[in-house]
Structure formats: structure tokens, C-alpha cells
Chains A and B, each alone.
Chain A
Amino acid sequence: MPVTVKTFANFGEAASALSSDRSARYLGGGTLVMRALNEGDVSISTVVRANDLALTRIDVASSRVTIGAGVTFGRILAERDLAFLHAPARSIGGPAVRNMGTVGGNLFAPSPYGDFTVALLALDATVSVQGGLGARDMPIEEFLQSRERQSGALVLAVACQRPASADAFRYRKIARIKPKGGSVITLAAHLPSSGGRISGARIALGSMAATQIRARAAERALEGRALDDAAINAAAAVAAEGVSPTDNALGSAWYRREIVGVHLRRLLSGLE
């Protein structure tokens, strides 16, 4: 069924068009929305696009980076300043999907997709959203919890602090096929430390619930401790607390619960 395509030169007009029409969807890279249209998704009657360059901007300040929602994973991989995000960007799709898929779209990718968002959740990113009532920044957790209601809003950018060192941010995607495959589990950990002790750890998991979630019990197990075997074992032992994975072709819920601690231990101890 043909849909109406509305293309705007600036994101404000696109956001208005999006918020005033419940059957409108924003088309970014196409890897989600075109896929739905190809499948004959009749809930979409209008496709909204914006050619605004503001959406594809990357701002790298000394400690904070802001990435426009329309930035593709291919572009992130080409940015030396975003090296800490290369592992999550590279773990998505093949080269063509990385040339198309965007940071903003990844926030809406349903499980088992949305690997980049796992990294952003561990990094405590902020999501800038333009809704009918104007623009606002919200913590990524709040965004993910209300994701179903956000389809009428336009994501403009995500921003996060750059990890203090390469070792302070770790990412791992468990897939059955390499180099390209869907996620069995995706893990990311931001482990800031002061005086040799972990302070403010954030551990995020993908494919372990309806949206990306934090492993809060594992975070608490690390807090205030050195990253030694005892702390790592304590975190791994409670990694499955609060998760609610489902069965799919890549792995059963039971399997995911069984192995999440194993992979968290490997991530934290830096093992391959």
C-alpha cells in the first residue's frame, strides 16, 4: 500500500509532522522502517524525513561527545575521536547496514537488536528529543522505559561523557555467527575508578529484557571495590538478577540466564 512521504529541510518541521499524525513514522537509515514497509506494515501511512544537517553532526569536546541521531555507524567507525564507540558500531550488521543504520534509529531497535544502545546505556547517555511541546534532554533509561510512547517524538542527538581511559569502557556482543550475527547477549560496562576502586559502575545488557537494561545488582557488587577476582566473581554471580529474557532462534531464555554471568566475568576480567 503506498504511503505518503513528507520530506523536510529542518528537523523542527519534521518533528511537528511526526507529532501531529499517529500513523507517521520517522525514516532515518531505513533499516527498521523500510523493513516494516516491505513487510506490508499497514500501521504506517506517512513517512517523515528530514534532510537537516544538524541531525548528522558530530561534536567532540574534550570530555563530552554529542552525536546527531542521523549519524551512521559507518561514520562513527571513520571518526578517530570516537574510538571508544568503535567496538559497538562494528558489531552491528554488515558494512551496508552500518552505512545505513543510525544512532537514533538504534534506540528504537527491538530486542535482539539495538546493540549500540547497550553501549550508550552503560555510558549514561542523554537523549535529546523534539516533541510536540518542544525539545528536551532525558536520561537514556527514561527514554528506553517510555520508548513505546516516543514514536511521535523526533530524536535529535545523543550525548555522553568520554570514558576516562580505554580500559574504563568495555563492550562485548555474543553472537553465534562471526563477524555478523544477531545478539545472544550484548554487554557493556563503564567502570570509572578512583584510587584503584570502582566508583559509579554501570553495566548494561542487551537481549536480556524487552529493552536494554542495567545489571544493577552486578553494579552494586563492584562498587567501592578493586576490580579483582573476588569482586568480579561477586558481580558475575548476580548478573542474572532482574533480567527477563525471552526465547528466540538465537538462544533460549534459560540459556541466556545461564551464560550472562560467564560473559560478564570475561568482560570484567578482560578475557577474550
Chain B
Amino acid sequence: MTKTPLQFRHNGRDVAVFVDGGVNLLVALRELIGDMTPKFGCGQGGCGACSVLIDGELHLSCLTLAEAVNGRAVETLDGLKDGPNLHPLQRAFMEQFAAQCGYCTPGMLMAAKSLLDRNPSPSRAEVIEAISGNICRCTGYEPIINAVLAAASSGRARA
């Protein structure tokens, strides 16, 4: 089976890999590029742990054919921090105890970033809607919702 060349922007950096036919983006990111921040949860699109932004839009990397991102920009949790400085969402998640086991956290953060990029001052209902495709089984949703709202208001305070 021949491999297909694939080039895309990964967190602002150009990457080039060879993929097997039918390989999903999550596998390409984790096994070929070494970005372990998107997580494998269900492989079925049901849990949101593998959420990434493709051209700024929230997508599930496990249901994305790797070849389909050729020439596009993929953003993962690994690209959220700015050098040693955490992203306001990451700080808020820490301060609000919004991560217990942490497995859903990368997906939650990307879903939250996708929301705040479009809507810097979301209502509580909008936050709930934005993370509705992301399943958390241990922390509980309340601290996560509070953290997203706190990050939004800290963003407003800075602006």
C-alpha cells in the first residue's frame, strides 16, 4: 500500500508526513507528528476528547481523514500556550479546578477556545451548548462551565 504525502500547518508550523490510506487526523497528529495533546476517547465522534480546530473551526480529529487537512491549518491544545505563559483558558481551568483526571480537558479547551474566538462574552447557556459535544466523566461540568466563563471575563478585563 502506497503512502500519501500530506502537508499542513500545525500550530503555526509547517509539517509534512506520509500517511496510510484511511488514517485519521488524530493518529497522524499523535503517531506521526508527536503531538499527544488531542486524546483518543471513543473513535466514534461521541466524546470530543480529540477536538481540534481546522481553519479555526471545531472538528473531531478522529473522524477527520488525515488527507483532508492537506494545505489547511490545524490547531491543537499544544498551540494554546504562549511560550511559558498559559492561555487564559488554561489558567482559568487550573484556578477553577476544572480538570480532575484531565482526559477530557484538551477537547474541552479547544471547544471553549472555538466559542471564545467567535463570542468573547458568552452566556452560561452558550457555554453549555459549546461544550455539549465533549463528555467529562469525573470532574463534573459545573467547574468547567465556570472556568470558561471566568476566562471570558478575564479576557474582557484585559481588553
Contacts and interface: CB of A to CB of B under 8 A. Distances in A.
A34 B21 CA distance: 12
Given A34-B24, A34-B62, A34-B65, A94 B133 contact: yes
Contacts of A74: 57
Given A3-B22, A95-B111, A35 B133 contact: no
Interface string A1-24: 111110100000000000000000
A271 interface: no
Q: How large is the interface on B (under 10, 10 to 19, 20 to 34, 35 or more residues)?
A: 20 to 34
A37 B26 CA distance: 13
Main secondary structure of the interface of A (DSSP, over half): mixed
B67 A95 contact: no
Nearest to A37: B22
A34 B114 contact: no
B43 interface: yes
Given A37-B24, A38-B44, A95-B130, 15 more contacts: A2-B20, A5-B65, A7-B67, A35-B45, A38-B24, A47-B65, A49-B65, A93-B133, A96-B51, A96-B58, A96-B133, A97-B60, A99-B59, A179-B129, A180-B132
Interface of A: 1-5, 7, 27, 29-31, 34-35, 37-39, 47, 49, 74, 93-97, 99-100, 179-180
Interface of B: 1, 4, 20-24, 43-45, 48, 51, 57-60, 62-65, 67-68, 111, 114-115, 128-134
